[in-house]
A and B are shown apart, each in its own frame.
Chain A
Amino acid sequence: MWKFTVRRIFVMIPQVILLSVIIFILAKMMPGDALSGLIDPNIDPATIEAKREALGLNNPWYVQYWDWIKNAVQGDLGQSFQFKMPVSEIIGQRLTNTFWLALLTLIITYLIAIPLGITSGRFNDTWGDRLITGYTYVGFGMPLFIFALVMLWIFGFKLGWFPSGGSVKPGLDPGSFEYIVSKFKHMLLPALSAALIATVGTVQYLRSEIIDIKQKDFIQTARAKGASESRVYNRHILRNSLLPIAAFFGYEITGLIGGSIFIENIFSYPGIGQLFLGSINIRDYTVVTSCVLLFGIAAILGSLLSDIILSIVDPRIRIK
């Protein structure tokens, strides 16, 4: 198990390096550079050129890449043009917000997916199953940004049950109980909206997996031993059916990142997704590249996590 995990982490290193190279090259290919936004038309072109030279913007790309990655590893992602602050500082604040939102979304996603998937798979082709499959079809067809808007309009605006923006009520002491409750309240509606849509894939997966496992020979073996139906489901079917769900976990995280961009903008929740879209709009390249790098690393970590989970639950994957 440990060997497998360590080996799997080593495989991750070239992935991250490749990711950073691609992001850097893409960023370089975008028109303009760090100075274009700061240029005043009255400045002498020679001064700009001198500044370029001094900042190393005339160096070949691999030298520039090395400079960038060296600083990035040390936590220095550059200066934001929009906020006039170090990027790492801006991202740091928002990352915590996004992390908690994503965690809550994940928890709600699985809280919905597992019971629904089990019911639907175990009692397939009953009216309950049809109802659940109906919901998954609607969920697949419904774009997240429309669904989130509808949720916001109904629960945030019309009914007023939830706050409709921000991440915490202003004027509360960080760390106090009210502060935490307020944070949770602000996260609940965005998380619920994202989860209700994100969960449909998992429900469908679990359903078809259970229906598939139900017909496997070893299920008949278990019945032939005299195992009760509930034991057959809990001990034999469920554990085997959850394998692909664990494998799907990494993609779930990638999907969550994509979702966070919509969700955070619609609910004006100060997280990475909102920062990302805002920075694209005003061409704040240092922030954009940092966000993309962060998203990429999150996706790679997600797949690492699924592999580790899979290796724990599936003995066939463990490497000797």
Chain B
Amino acid sequence: MSKELLKIENLKTSFRIKDDYYAAVDDVSLTVNKNELLAIVGESGCGKSALAFSIMGLHSRATIEGNILFKGKNIANLPPNDMNKFRGKDMGMIFQDPLTALNPLMIIGDQIGETLLLHNKNLSVNGRKVKVIELLKKVGIPRPEYTYNQFPHQLSGGMRQRVVIAMAIANNPELLIADEPTTALDVTIQSQILDLIKVLKEDSHAGIILITHDLGVVAEMADRVAVMYAGQIVEIADVYTIFENPLHPYTRSLLNSVPNSDETNSRLHVIQGVVPSLQNLPREGCRFSDRIPWVDSSFHEKNPVLHEVSPGHFVRCTCYKHFYFPHESKEEKQNVIS
């Protein structure tokens, strides 16, 4: 068996708006290995969540093209009944907003127990309860027996996210998808939840896809990083390379936008313009070109593809070779690259 757990090939997820189809995820290829945490980074609306939902088969009205190979089996466009054998068992998903991800009318114990019940019909009611309480303990709920009978509205956001995690890991899935698991939480709870995910990874050796827009989280958690922009992966590399030697203009702009406590007087870098909406996405050429207008258009590729610049480090479009920030001099930057 190879180490490859999930292999996505040329995935294209399109949504119908009126009579046209628009691809929210466009030609994405990536792999996730066992015991590896792949972070997917990008602005809101760049297709991160659409990608995650495509993997889980949770889009009800999207057209999915390309292959999603999970342990060698293509699960793209699998009918829901077949998909349900994987979902919750081999693949778990942690959702973005714990406040809305739990059914308000079911007690916590039943909600976690449901994941167990659906994939293990032989488990007795008591056995299930014991297992659920074990899970609650594992995710760090202080009074598991008590929480078992509580309703979601009686728990804080952090506690609810732990419950959501407990549901996702109930059957020890080999692949865990965490869709911005800390976005809705405050900072102290964020770090607790991230620590929990780290511990779970060490315990289970599962492959994890962590979707986030927080570069701090990426630096702390990830083994590899895929940077997405406008539905495409623009750069993918291991975490050290991304932070030490980012190449794509978008990656560099993102990193440059992180506030730096050393330079107290300088202005914060802001990426010009906005992410184009799904309907207005440029379908040809470099999708980022509109937001770096000072870079001459001749430097962009007509049909940008991923170039392997060093083993495992891929960058889309050749414009990275000519990119510089407006406040830097052009020559200075080009010296660094060459």
A contact residues vs B (CB 8 Å cutoff): 216-218, 220-229, 231, 235-236, 239-240, 313-316
Contacts and interface: CB of A to CB of B under 8 A. Distances in A.
B337 interface: no
A218 B153 contact: no
20 contacts: A218-B100, A218-B104, A221-B95, A221-B101, A221-B102, A222-B114, A224-B56, A224-B88, A224-B95, A225-B88, A226-B86, A226-B88, A227-B118, A228-B81, A228-B84, A231-B118, A236-B106, A240-B103, A315-B151, A316-B153
Contacts of A315: 104-105, 151, 153
Contacts of A221: 93, 95, 101-103, 164, 167
Nearest to A314: B105
Contacts of A227: 84, 88, 114, 118
Nearest to B168: A224
Given A221-B95, A316-B153, 9 more contacts: A218-B101, A218-B103, A221-B167, A224-B58, A225-B118, A227-B118, A228-B80, A229-B80, A315-B104
Nearest to B57: A223
Interface residues of B, number: 33
B14 interface: no
Contacts of B95: 217, 220-221, 224
B101 A226 contact: no
B119 interface: yes
Nearest to B154: A315
B207 interface: no
A314 B151 CA distance: 10
B118 A224 contact: no
Contacts of A231: 118
Contacts of B167: 221, 225
A112 B86 CA distance: 38
Contacts of A222: 103, 114
B87 A225 contact: yes
Nearest to A231: B118
A226 B102 contact: no
B86 A217 contact: no
Interface of B: 53, 56, 58, 80-81, 83-89, 92-93, 95-97, 100-106, 114-115, 118-119, 151, 153, 164, 167-168
A225 to B, nearest CB: 4
Nearest to B119: A226
A161 to B, nearest CB: 43
A216 B102 CA distance: 10
B151 A316 contact: yes
A4 to B, nearest CB: 15
Nearest to B118: A226
Going nearest first, the 3 A-B pairs with the smallest beta carbon separation are A226-B88, A225-B88, A217-B100
Contacts of B119: 226
A302 to B, nearest CB: 23
A226 B89 contact: yes
A225 B167 CA distance: 8
Contacts of B88: 224-227
Interface centre among B83, B106, B167, B168 (most CB of A within 10 A): B106
Contacts of A314: 104-105
Nearest to B88: A226
Nearest to A320: B154
Nearest to B102: A218
Contacts of B84: 226-228
A48 B103 CA distance: 70
A231 B167 CA distance: 17
A223 B101 contact: no
Given A220-B58, A226-B84, A236 B103 contact: yes
A138 B56 CA distance: 42
A221 B179 CA distance: 12
Contact of B115 (A217, A218, A225): A225
Nearest to B112: A225
Interface centre among A223, A231, A313 (most CB of B within 10 A): A223
Contacts of A217: 95-97, 100-101
B103 to A, nearest CB: 5
A172 to B, nearest CB: 48
B92 A224 contact: yes
A224 B93 contact: yes
